[in-house]
Chain A
Amino acid sequence: MILSSLCIAYAGFLALALAMDRHHEQILARRPSARASRLLGWVGWAVLALSLPPAIVAWGWAIGLPAWLGLLTVAAAALALLLPYAPRAALRLGPAAVVCAPLLAFLA
């Protein structure tokens, strides 16, 4: 549950990064259209919101909420470090995280 929350959070942050001109260019070497940018932004926020329930299921509200904030920190830090050093890997990790999230939830 913890790892699946982390995976979902990473995917959400990746979508948010892709919604920004600077990072979109960093990853895909071109600028996003205004529409794509808006869409990615909405998807990013929605996916981030989806990363909360697994943490609450695993820990309850009192511990789950601060734990979720901690997971967000780890996911965002991983992305921020990958972007300058390995932008392609940062992109490929996104779909991988989306696939892993439900698997990890079932295994736990």
Chain B
Amino acid sequence: MKDGFRQSMAWLHTWSGLLLGWLLFAVFLTGTVAYFRQEVTAWMQPELHGSVADAGTAERAVERMGRIAPDAAQWTIALPGERTPAVSVSWRPADAKPNDRAALKRATLDAGTGEVLEPRETAGGNFLYRFHFELYGMPRETARWIIGIATMAMLVAIVSGIITHRRIFKDFFTFRPEKSPLRSWMDGHVAAAVLALPFHLMITYSGLLLFMTMLMPWAVDLAYDGNRQTYFAESGFRRAAPAPRPAPQAAPLTPVAPLLAEAERQWADRGGVGTITVTNPGRANATIELRPAAADSIGRGGGGTERLLFDGVTGRTLEVPPTDPQPGAMATGNYLMGLHLARFAGPGMRWLFFVSGVAGTVMVGSGLILWVVKRRSQRSRADNRADGPEPFGHRLADRLNIGVVAGLPLAVAAFFWANRLLPAGLEERAGWEIGVFFLAWAAALLHAPLRPSRRGWAEQLWAGAALFALLPVLNAATAAGHLGNSLPAGNWLLAGFDLTALAAGLLLGFAARKVGRNAFSRKAASAPVLPAGAVAEELT
């Protein structure tokens, strides 16, 4: 009975993992890069690389807004920080509806001079971020359903995997790269899964939570009689705070320097002021709201709920309306969803998430490869006709593995190359960048079935390795923020991207060399390294 249960769990693990594995690999890979989406976007806009913040940045930005949009209903000024070099501003024209996001106008300001910058249009890190939960080129709702189902399969695969793999503690540190392909892939798969297991469970479960009102709307529909907007408003997911209408009397805006000084003093450990929101600027009822750069809690949203509110004419401190305490269930949900989004995370924490995300990507990728390696090994044991044709299903899975596991990193690298090689003024430029990404990926998927398995793996891994490793060179050739400048200046925003690309290139090159040598050769796979019984034991 017990063995029967474990067998069925192994079956469930194999098939829930395989069928949605290719999609999950893409979700994990792009989602992992998305932890650095602001950094990626910053790298993809070289026009902003010369922007350096100083003590006068905030004041200059407010002063500039007075000239760009004197009659706006509201200004929002996001100050530069560790993750963004320039000031991003947006404003709502006086005649726009309060919650109409599309009516917002945006601009980018140089942090050092306050000048309006014209960065190239780019899909940026945002494309990879959106792709990991909405894919591309299909209705948003449909895509989210597909991802939601894949996430559910992921959760099933994790739980059935834990049950299948019974010796978690005994095998905790076990990695034997010198053993048979089957053994070493199994070790690698288990290590990537077990060592970051808390992360995998958290990210998968919270991923489902983020979709919860879409996947399971029934409780809300029943309690609110189908009126979901009421539920969102009451549960605070969408804060509806209509700004007061502008007063008819004009009045000059108070100098912001003293307000900023006060906020900097209070938020010394929170990275100082992050955003400035001015409502009804130039009117008698103007208000200035400041929020800290770093969050004090994990819950959804950027700087948390803490803020300072000032009268925009007199500069007097106004009382901030208290926020309702969250009920326990909602606080728990927000905590988990906040962990998934990691908006609160400083650099150290962000790297930890990134490393765990890489582990998740390796876990899914190695699981896919394992499916093929295991069947090859079984086939060669079952009959000694290892030279016979490989079944179509196995070949299909193997070629899809090449096109996704090796092809997707290649496509991401091609996306970055397109960012620098397409002319800066190109019409629909962001769309072209995305086009290059999908073209490169399609080329990889088409290339895989045309080549012998091992050659296909090696060629695509080498291509990806070269594209990634040469990104710092491309950066040096096309922009001023290359390693020769960014490292001496301590600009980790830009240097971090280049160094990570280099590391990704080396890692892919290492994998390519291994493949080229022996890891996938049929000879190595068919060598009888283990007695048949031991393999069966190992795999169930």
Contacts and interface: CB of A to CB of B under 8 A. Distances in A.
A73 to B, nearest CB: 5
B363 to A, nearest CB: 12
Given A62-B298, A62-B335, A63-B349, A73 B175 contact: no
B348 A77 contact: no
Interface in A31-61: 59
Name the residue among B196, B199, B339, B352 with the largest chain A CB count within 10 angstroms: B352
A101 interface: no
Given A16-B172, A77-B195, A83-B175, A70 B353 contact: yes
Interface residues of B, number: 27
B419 to A, nearest CB: 30
Contacts of B349: 59, 63, 67, 70
B298 A63 contact: yes
A11 interface: no
B355 interface: yes
Contacts of A86: none
Interface residues of A, number: 25
Contacts of A69: 198-199
B538 to A, nearest CB: 15
Contacts of A16: 172-173
> Which of A22, A69, A71, A73 counts the most chain B CB atoms within 10 A?
A73
Interface in A64-85: 66-67, 69-71, 73-74, 76-77, 79-81, 83-85
A84 B184 CA distance: 11
Given A73-B195, A80-B195, A62 B175 contact: no
Contacts of A77: 191, 195-196, 355, 359
A99 to B, nearest CB: 22
Contact of A76 (B170, B176, B177, B195): B195
Interface in A8-22: 13, 16-17, 20, 22
Interface centre among B191, B195, B297, B345 (most CB of A within 10 A): B195
B291 to A, nearest CB: 19
B352 A74 contact: yes
A60 to B, nearest CB: 9
B356 interface: yes
Contacts of A70: 199, 349, 352-353, 355-356
A84 B174 CA distance: 9
Contact of B174 (A2, A71, A80): A80
Interface of A: 2, 13, 16-17, 20, 22-23, 59, 62-63, 66-67, 69-71, 73-74, 76-77, 79-81, 83-85
Given A73-B355, A83-B173, 15 more contacts: A16-B172, A20-B170, A23-B173, A63-B298, A69-B199, A73-B196, A73-B352, A73-B356, A74-B352, A76-B195, A77-B196, A77-B359, A80-B174, A80-B175, A84-B177
5 contacts: A62-B297, A62-B298, A67-B348, A76-B173, A80-B191
